[in-house]
Amino acid sequence: MKNYTRLLFVFIFLLHVSGCMAQEPIDKMEWWKEAKFGMFIHWGLYSIPAGEWNSRQTKIGETTEWIQCYMKIPVADYRSLATRFNPIQFNADNFVSLAKEAGMKYIVLTSKHHEGFAMFKSSDPFNVVDATPYKKDIVKALAEACKKQGMHFGLYYSQAQDWNHHGGAACSGHWDTAQQGSFDKYLDEVSIPQIAEILSAYNPEILWWDTPCEMTRERADRFAPILAKYPNLIVNNRLCEGIPGDLETPEQFIPATGFPGKNWESCMTMNGTWGYGANDHNWKSTQVLIRNLIDIASKGGNYLLNVGPTSQGLIPDPSIERLKEMGTWMKTNGEAIYGTTASPLRDLDWGRCTVKKTGGKNRIYLHVFDFPEDGILRIPGLASKVEKAWAMKNPSHKLRVENSGNYKNINVSKIERDKFATVFVLETSDEVIVYNGPQISAEYSVFIDKAAFEITTDISNCVIHYTTDGSVPTKESAIAKGINEVNISSSFLIKALCFRGESAISGLTEKRLIKEVPVPAIAVRETKTGLEYRYFEGVWDRLPDFSVLKPMSKGIAQSIDLTVKKRNNDYGLIFSGYLWVPETAVYQFYLTSNDGSQMIISGKTLSNNGLHGMDQKSMDFALGKGFHPIEVQFFQAGGGDGLKLEWKAIGNNRAVIDCSYLRHQ
């Protein structure tokens, strides 16, 4: 059966390719890459409790669409919400019109979230048409409104987590016997048939999978014959671990450098929750939302910004207000967002940059967040000849661009400032050529007596000059060659520039290296292998003060991992004891977790706190040989977990800390 499915998928794909060979090839991602800005809509039965169940409210950090899981609501009780779902104020045209007014180019609606309730007419009876007094197909209404108004349309579908169907609650465990059953049977009888339904009935351009718990390659293959019928369908990377999809999907954060060479999209909320939360008033400002959009575009991504409608079918007023303000800004500045590519300029201290080619010209858009105090906007390393420049708000007012060594300067002191972001345009007929500052890298940011660093550049035919006294490099300064080692008695600042001949051509790069005295070890006697652990249960959005909480269990763990947990979500752990350090040196620690964690060693803290997916933080410590007190704290709030602590010393490979180095008394 597995081989047949794969062969069928290949056969259908080849038929599609052969049918298109005579036609001009079409990149299905083109419109999406042009769009940059979309609306996510999280809407379902969870909009009725809106964060409260039997006088209990979801806590900070708990998203309202997860209320059934957080509060372990029985299936029968939760399903009864369908009899109360009657969003008579819903108007699909108004939703689409608002998205257009905000400057958004596509919409993605939750056709079925983890609650298992279909917002469309389905063969499964737990759906908006058959199970509610509303009796209307919400997905159909929105799909038709998008088509009428020229809005691209996509659907979210939770394929592998469903709390209200037998066998579907794989990720979160079971709290009701009604959830028990075969996960494979759930896929065959609910998930796969519903994917076929929504693709054939509504023809979405995007299929947004979510939480691939218990999904394997073999299970994902069972969706292949359906997906092969829609070769222009854009799918994300959440069908199954290891299947990349068409785009990466960082959630609730903007990656520092984006995903170079890949399509990606940051999905983010306006407040603290995806679904409607009656008591969540922690709204992000319009300035934050606009600057998020700019930041994402400057790194080559798209911004999928969420709204959570009420059970009556209305988008909350604070969302509407912010979207309209964003739309006003986009009417003037949208050119600097739509169809742009990632910034060629690195390390801008005043804002962000986007670029695109238009009308045979190249345009560089400078998004200024923080105006320079002297009114001179400095663009480092831009080598292209600028033919003209202007402020986006006033195109007729031309600005003078002056060359100042390896910088181009613009006097913007008399330009009206936008409270969200002021955009300037530089136009050139040449290709955009940027000489970014050289990259300064050091294996360790901390040193004991000798510091080592390397300075590199991708600029050809140049020489890198650097200083270690904080001064700006000149042609007479030291030349960077390979690994540079210095014996120095204090912390110092490296500055580096690329030169051609007598002239600096790049931006200036800086990096500080810190001299530390190794933290001395402490005297410890009669230790045993492993660390003590304490296990807690609770709901948190950040690491709690464990000292005031009573642990549910205690014991000895041979390694820092999650094998001692009692359930898959809403729990916490503390590991404590001593770390044996084999020699005095600088050690780099890597703390990776989902959700938050922190490590405290000899009084110094490495933090990876907050709600997030698997994320890594690192820090350097100068430690003396011997025993050092260590404590690792961790909490998990839902949707997958993980914890790993690694270390690395000079001359050694990075590795998980072996149990022989972990001790307790």
3-state secondary structure string across 341-375: ECCCCCCCCCEEEEEEEECCEEEEEEEECCCCCCC
Report, in this order, helix, strand and coil percent for the chain, each rounded to 5.
20, 30, 45
Checking DSSP bridges between strand 422-428 and strand 388-391, what pairing results, if any?
antiparallel
521: left (phi over 0), alpha (psi -120 to 50) or beta: beta
Give dist(CA 253, CA 238) in Å, integer.
17
Position of tokens 């110094």? 604
Could you tell me the pTM of the whole model? 0.86
Could you identify the residue written with the tokens 């909490």? 635
CB 143 within 8 A of CB 203: yes
Q: Helix, strand, or coil here: 292?
A: helix
The amino acid occupying position 26 is I
Distance CA 565, CA 57 (A): 26
Residue 165: both structure tokens together: 């169907």
Nearest by Cα to 31 from 330, 259, 302: 302
**pLDDT in the model for residue 350:** 96
Q: What Rg value do the Cα atoms of the chain yield, rounded?
A: 28
In this prediction, residue 373 carries a pLDDT of 93
Q: How far is CA 522 from CA 244, 515, 578, 629, in A?
A: 48, 22, 10, 8
- d(CA 14, CA 662) in angstroms, rounded, equals 56
For residue range 340-399, what is the model confidence (pLDDT) as tens digits? Answer: 999 999 989 999 999 999 988 999 999 999 999 999 999 999 999 999 999 999 998 899
Residues 650 and 629: their CA atoms lie apart, in Å, by 22
Answer whether 574's CB lies under 8 Å from 632's CB. yes
How does strand 206-209 pair with strand 234-235? parallel
CA dist 532 and 548 (Å) reads: 18
Closest CA to 270 of 303, 297, 305, 301: 305
Residue-level pLDDT at 429: 85
Closest Cα to residue 507, out of 475, 470, 459?
Answer: 459
3-state secondary structure 119-183: CCCCCCCCECCCCCCCCCCHHHHHHHHHHHHCCEEEEEECCCCCCCCCCCCCCCCCCCHHHCCCH
pLDDT on residue 540: 87
Query: With the CA atoms of 192, 193, 196 and 201 taken in that order, what torsion angle do they form, in degrees rounded to the nearest 10?
Result: -140
| 191 contact partners, CB below 8 Å, separation of at least 6 | 159, 160, 162, 168
How far apart are alpha carbons 465 and 495 in whole angstroms?
8
Tokens of 390: 């202007």
* Cα(296)–Cα(259) distance, integer angstroms: 11
Distance CA 219, CA 185 (A): 11
Question: Nearest Cα to 309, choosing from 349, 350, 276, 342?
Answer: 276
What is the pLDDT, as a whole number, of residue 522?
95
Contact 216, 240 (CB under 8 A): yes
Directed axis angle between helix 92-102 and helix 317-333, to 10°?
40
What are the tens digits of pLDDT across the range 89-99? 999 999 999 99
Instruction: State the pLDDT at residue 612.
Output: 78
Residue indicated by tokens 């405290």: 600
Task: Tell which phi-psi region holds residue 461, choosing left (phi > 0), alpha (psi between -120 and 50) or beta.
Answer: left
Buried b (16+ CB within 10 A) or exposed e, 69-82: bbbebebeebbebb
| Distance, CA of 233 to CA of 227 (rounded, Å) | 8
Structure tokens at 414: 């008399």
Q: Which H or E run contains 427?
A: strand 422-428
pLDDT of residue 230: 97
> Cβ neighbours of residue 54 under 8 Å, at least 6 residues apart?
none
**Cα 33 to Cα 264: distance, rounded to the nearest angstrom:** 9
Phi, psi torsion values for 644, nearest 5 degrees: -150, 135
Tell me the HSE value of 439 on the side-chain side, using a 13 A CA sphere: 8
Task: Identify the CA nearest to 494 among candidates 511, 481, 508, 506.
Answer: 511
What phi and psi values does residue 654 have, to the nearest 5 degrees? -65, 135
Strands 401-404 and 407-411 come out as antiparallel
pLDDT of residue 639: 64
Q: What are phi and psi of 87, to 5 degrees?
A: -80, 70
Q: What tokens does 97 get?
A: 């019109």
DSSP state of 538: -
Which domains, and CATH codes, for the chain? 2-9+34-336 (3.20.20.80), 351-428 (2.60.40.1180), 439-515 (2.60.40), 528-664 (2.60.120.1560)
Contact 326, 268 (CB under 8 A): no
Alpha-carbon torsion (421, 424, 429, 430), positive or negative = negative
Give me the residues of the chain with pLDDT under 50, please. Answer: 1-24
How far apart are alpha carbons 11 and 2 in whole angstroms? 14
DSSP 3-state of 435: coil
